Structure 1
Amino acid sequence: MSFDADVARFVKRARDGANKLTRGVELELFRSAIMDTPVDTGRLRGNWQYSHGRPVDQERDAEDQSGVRTTSEMQSGVLSAPWPRKSYLRNNLPYAIRIEEGHSTIKAPQGMVRRNLRRIAANLRSQIRRLR
């Protein structure tokens, strides 16, 4: 084997590993945010929209009390998106940010996104420490 072939294999393995890690983190974070969204009619949960490249800027006329449809659509998007990329999970309902900021002390006082960001960041830090 040549040095060039060894380097090419290393680069491919590193890229594949980074892609797999990125997709795994996205799937876990986005799924958790969707499923932690409080449900009344399911409109808030049904308005989570995945995109890559640029964020979606419209509301959806969709209800999804179980989160199954929304999670499935997000997962399909994450798994089919090119890599590397910028990914977005966005909810454009006017009251989504108020719920995220804790204005509903009964339904989601810790938010939907920020609590999962903290949890996943802590998990990643822990895994990185173990690798050192």
Structure 2
Amino acid sequence: MQIAEFIAKTKASQDLAVRAITMKIDNKLVGRSPVGDAKFWKHKPPTGYTGGRFRANWQLSIGSPSAGVRELIDKDGSATIAAHGSTISAAKAGDVIFLVNNLPYAKRIEEGWSRQAPVGVVALTVVEFRTIVDDAVNGVRNGTTASEFAQGYSTYKL
């Protein structure tokens, strides 16, 4: 009986750590994504242009990467983060989790074409990955990660 309880607790802790890591990476990618500011562009933007499409095109999925692009605008990233909440809450240890941005100019942004993200978005987050994992695991150990999830996914912290 005690072994079964230990296994269940350990599995739940692993799942919670995976969710916390995914949430933190998602928050960083969305929050760091540049929002177009046409006043710095060499050419005039299209009529009716508004920034926030790149930020809105982060797509989170489990098992296989999302295809296509979204025709949404999300200047502050809150709607994108909120939309990912149900997928993150379903994530479990062992799942393959994808965070993709399929916009044609995503690669250019990652290569430093944006003055708002001169070293990219993903590369900077990859550099921080070990710290993200350590913080998530420590949060599971001391119980603070559960309270983060109780607050919801709608706010991101950089």
Band the TM-score falls in, shorter-chain normalisation: 0.7 to 0.9
Residue by residue, what CA displacement relative to the aligned partner does 1:57-80 show, whole Å, maximum 9, x if unpaired?
111111111111101011222113
- The CA deviation at 1:126 is 7.7
Aligned-pair RMSD on alpha carbons? Answer: 2.3
For residues 76 and 122 of structure 2, the distance between their equivalents in structure 1, rounded to whole angstroms, comes to 18
1:63 aligned partner: 73
Runs of 4+ residues deviating >4 angstroms: 125-128
2:118 aligned with 1:109: yes
Give the number of the structure with larger relative contact order, counting CA–CA contacts within 8 Å between residues 6 or more apart: 2
Indicate the residue corresponding to 1:53 in structure 2: 63
In the aligned structure 2, how far is the partner of 1:123 from the partner of 1:107? 22
How far does residue 114 in structure 1 lie from its aligned partner after superposition?
2.0
Counterpart of 1:120?
129
1:55-113 CA-partner distances (Å, limit 9, x unpaired): 00111111111111101011222113455411111100011111112233x12012112
Residue in structure 2 matched with residue 79 of structure 1 by the alignment: 89
Q: Is the 8 A contact 2:21 2:133 kept in 1?
A: no
Give the secondary-structure state (helix, strand or coil) at the position aligned to 1:11.
Answer: helix
Structure 2 distance, partners of 1:50, 1:19, is 17
Give distance in 2, aligned partners of 1:58 and 1:121: 30
Q: Secondary structure at the match of 1:122?
A: helix
CA deviation vs aligned residue, 1:4-59 (integer Å, no higher than 9, x gap): x1221111111111101110000000111001000021010011111111000111
Identity %: 30
Specify every segment of 5 or more residues in structure 1 that has no aligned partner in the other structure, as ranges: none
CA distance in 2, matches of 1:87, 1:127: 16
2:54 aligned to which of 41, 44, 49: 44
TM-score normalized by the length of structure 2: 0.71
SS class of match (1:110): coil
